[in-house]
Chain A
Amino acid sequence: DGGITQSPKYLFRKEGQNVTLSCEQNLNHDAMYWYRQDPGQGLRLIYYSQIVNDFQKGDIAEGYSVSREKKESFPLTVTSAQKNPTAFYLCASSRVGRAGELFFGEGSRLTVL
């Protein structure tokens, strides 16, 4: 079945450590996105990519980095520069020009100890 796979589902990290969240899709979508979800805050865009080897900052990119070396993969690194990294992270994909029709993964919950 086509879909988006995020891993790990749960992740704990100590302050000062970088962590990388994996996102893989087999929907053949060109566009991929990372959102952060906090209680009562909705979903906020971190980074997005419309094509391999190109990506753009979203509304809350500070403290995060991404890469897009393959069409299927869009990993997110939460760096030690992110002041409040504890959150639920969602990866999504869409066809180019159909950004309103997002397909989401099941999310990764990051907790900083």
Chain B
Amino acid sequence: QQQVKQSPQSLIVQKGGISIINCAYENTAFDYFPWYQQFPGKGPALLIAIRPDVSEKKEGRFTISFNKSAKQFSLHIMDSQPGDSATYFCAASRDSGGGADGLTFGKGTHLIIQP
């Protein structure tokens, strides 16, 4: 059973445009929702994260929107740049329970920003 569903699988955006990646989760015990960015041949790196007590978090050009009732959250990349081309993973965890069993990841979105 896939607990975090991510879409789209791949995305092509023109330079300067807005990239939007969506995720939906099933387990209401999740209380921490991070996004990870991965470049080819490298390990993922934490990009931005949100907790369910807020509906939006912004860091520079990256924004997470969170809808608790719909159990959905999304990543928006404003003014997308070629350097943003990477694979993005949404994830969820139960930090309040100690998070002992780690993160549950979506399957990833391969983002290409065309110059």
Residues of A at the B interface (CB closer than 8 Å) are: 4, 31, 33, 35, 40-45, 48, 50, 56, 58, 90, 92, 94, 96-107
Contact of B44 among A40, A50, A98, A104 (CB under 8 A): A104
Judged by a CB distance under 8 angstroms, whether B82 is at the interface is no
Whether B9 and A56, one on each chain, are in contact in the complex, defined by CB atoms closer than 8 angstroms, is: no
Q: Kindly state the interface size class of chain B when it binds its partner.
A: 20 to 34
Whether B49 and A97, one on each chain, are in contact in the complex, defined by CB atoms closer than 8 angstroms, is: no
Measured between beta carbons, the chain B residues less than 8 angstroms from A92 are 43, 102
Whether B43 and A104, one on each chain, are in contact in the complex, defined by CB atoms closer than 8 angstroms, is: yes
Whether A106 and B49, one on each chain, are in contact in the complex, defined by CB atoms closer than 8 angstroms, is: no
Whether B34 and A100, one on each chain, are in contact in the complex, defined by CB atoms closer than 8 angstroms, is: yes
Q: How far is the CA of A90 from the CA of B91 in the complex (A)?
A: 16
Residue from the set A45, A96, A100, A107 with the largest chain B CB neighbour count within 10 Å? A100
Whether B45 and A101, one on each chain, are in contact in the complex, defined by CB atoms closer than 8 angstroms, is: no
Chain A interface, DSSP helix/strand/loop, else mixed: strand
Whether A43 and B99, one on each chain, are in contact in the complex, defined by CB atoms closer than 8 angstroms, is: no
Contact of B43 among A31, A44, A97, A106 (CB under 8 A): A106
Known: A100-B93, A104-B45. A50 touches B108 (CB 8 A): no
Whether A102 and B42, one on each chain, are in contact in the complex, defined by CB atoms closer than 8 angstroms, is: no
Whether B42 and A107, one on each chain, are in contact in the complex, defined by CB atoms closer than 8 angstroms, is: yes
Measured between beta carbons, the chain A residues less than 8 angstroms from B46 are 101-103
Judged by a CB distance under 8 angstroms, whether B66 is at the interface is no
Contact of B101 among A99, A101, A105 (CB under 8 A): A99
Contact of B9 among A40, A94, A98, A102 (CB under 8 A): A40
Measured between beta carbons, the chain B residues less than 8 angstroms from A42 are 6, 89, 105-108
Measured between beta carbons, the chain A residues less than 8 angstroms from B101 are 45, 48, 56, 58, 99
Known: A40-B107, A41-B107, A100-B95. A48 touches B102 (CB 8 A): yes
Judged by a CB distance under 8 angstroms, whether B32 is at the interface is yes
Residue from the set A58, A102, A104, A105 with the largest chain B CB neighbour count within 10 Å? A102
Whether B49 and A101, one on each chain, are in contact in the complex, defined by CB atoms closer than 8 angstroms, is: yes
User: B66-115: which residues lie under 8 A (CB-CB) from chain A?
Assistant: 89, 91-95, 98-103, 105-108
